[in-house]
């Protein structure tokens, strides 16, 4: 199964799709040079493109899955929430890519604030081009990370051959993933729905299968197995090791249980959070669930920016597997 990635960043969602759906990334689209250089290092065989607004999708290699976290600034509560009036509103280009390439599946990611601003347009566009959608909100903390980072994940399927697609989904992913009992609610989804339990909508063309689900309780429920390390503490660099010796970082205070849990999930110790009074990019890399050294080659500032815009791979993987499981379970019912 081949994947095409839009707004790829440093590849967090690409990793999630590969792991959850047994896929291989064929091409990526990323405008910023710094994260694009990270993609080139980790996916040397994938084709890369820069400006999503200039791509002729008729010329692109067909893929089975299109994934992407289109810019969140138009919808984020941290911004001005201009929605479709924001110049960074690039969803229409994503929708065009889906419409032309007609992948079997599309995986979307955005901030939870998107539910109350602009998400109705996304669902309407998907329905108009013939795709059903199901979605869930999930926090990074729900899968063991020591931070909240609540995000919206959407799995869209080509409505032509929906039953066959759902049957295929039964075989995707690794390990059992329980399907929470959805609570259906009609109307426009809002952020007040803390559990991500959205309703369904109907368009002129077709009814859209679109149901949300409760967030995951923790990583273990979703079969996300930690890679246990037996080598003891492993620091990110010689300078950190010299700074800390064999003492490790123990003064986490109230955050220690969360830090230790994520260490168990990732299978490696937390790096020192700051060096010379500045936030350590290696620590943020660890917080975001990427392999050690994932953003090597970037300056500290560029690494922090790229990581701040990234998708936690484990969070995306669990969300996709949850959505895949729900469709697969319905197909078997």
Q: For residues 285-314, give the mean pLDDT.
A: 97
**CA 281 remoteness from chain centre:** 20
Domain range annotation of the chain: 2-218+313-332, 238-308
Gap between the Cα atoms of 118 and 99, Å rounded: 19
The CB density around residue 309, as the number of other CB atoms within 10 Å, is: 16
DSSP annotation of 290 = P
160 confidence band (pLDDT: 50, 70, 90): confident
More confident residue, 196 or 266: 266
pLDDT at 49 exceeding the cut of 90: yes
> pLDDT at residue 219 above 70?
no
Checking if the pLDDT of 248 tops 60, the result is: no
The CATH number for 2-218+313-332, chosen from 3.40.1450.10, 3.40.50.150, 3.40.50.2300, 3.20.20.70, is: 3.40.50.150
126, 201 contact by CB (below 8 A): no
Inform me whether the pLDDT recorded for 266 exceeds 60: yes
pTM for the full predicted model? 0.76
Q: Which of 20, 38, 60, 72 is catalytic?
A: 72
Q: What is the pLDDT of residues 53-107, one digit of tens each?
A: 999 999 999 999 999 998 756 555 455 444 455 555 788 899 999 999 999 999 9
Q: What is the mean pLDDT of the chain?
A: 76
Question: Is 72 one of the annotated active-site residues of the chain?
Answer: yes
């Amino acid at each position: 199964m081949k994947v095409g990635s839009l707004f790829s960043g440093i590849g967090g969602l690409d990793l999630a799709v590969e792991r959850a759906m047994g896929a291989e990334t064929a091409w990526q689209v990323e405008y910023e040079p710094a994260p694009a250089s990270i993609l080139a290092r980790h996916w040397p065989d994938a084709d890369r493109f820069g400006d999503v607004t200039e791509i002729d999708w008729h010329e692109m290699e067909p893929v089975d899955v299109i994934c992407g976290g289109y810019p969140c600034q138009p919808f984020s509560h941290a911004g001005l929430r201009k929605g479709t009036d924001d110049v960074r509103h690039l969803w229409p280009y994503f929708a065009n890519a889906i419409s032309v390439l007609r992948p079997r599946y599309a995986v979307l990611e955005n901030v939870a604030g998107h539910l109350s601003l602009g998400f109705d347009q996304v669902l309407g566009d998907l329905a108009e081009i013939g795709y059903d959608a199901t979605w869930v909100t999930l926090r990074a903390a729900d899968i063991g990370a020591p931070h909240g980072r609540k995000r919206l994940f959407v799995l869209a399927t080509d409505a032509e051959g929906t039953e066959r697609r759902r049957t295929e989904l039964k075989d995707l992913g690794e390990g059992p993933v329980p399907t929470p009992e959805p609570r259906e609610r009609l109307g426009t989804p809002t952020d007040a729905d803390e559990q991500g339990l959205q309703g369904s909508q109907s368009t002129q063309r077709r009814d859209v299968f679109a149901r949300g689900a409760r967030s995951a309780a923790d990583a273990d429920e979703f079969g996300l197995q930690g890679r246990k390390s037996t080598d003891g503490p492993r620091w990110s660099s010689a300078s950190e090791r010299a700074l800390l010796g064999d003492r490790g970082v123990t003064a986490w205070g109230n955050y220690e249980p969360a830090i230790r849990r994520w260490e168990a999930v990732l299978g490696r110790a937390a790096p020192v959070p700051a060096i010379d009074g500045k936030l350590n990019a290696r620590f943020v890399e660890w917080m975001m669930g990427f392999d050690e050294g994932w953003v090597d080659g970037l300056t500290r500032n560029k690494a922090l920016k790229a990581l701040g815009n990234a998708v936690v791979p484990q969070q995306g993987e669990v969300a996709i597997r949850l959505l895949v499981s729900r469709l697969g379970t319905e197909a078997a019912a």
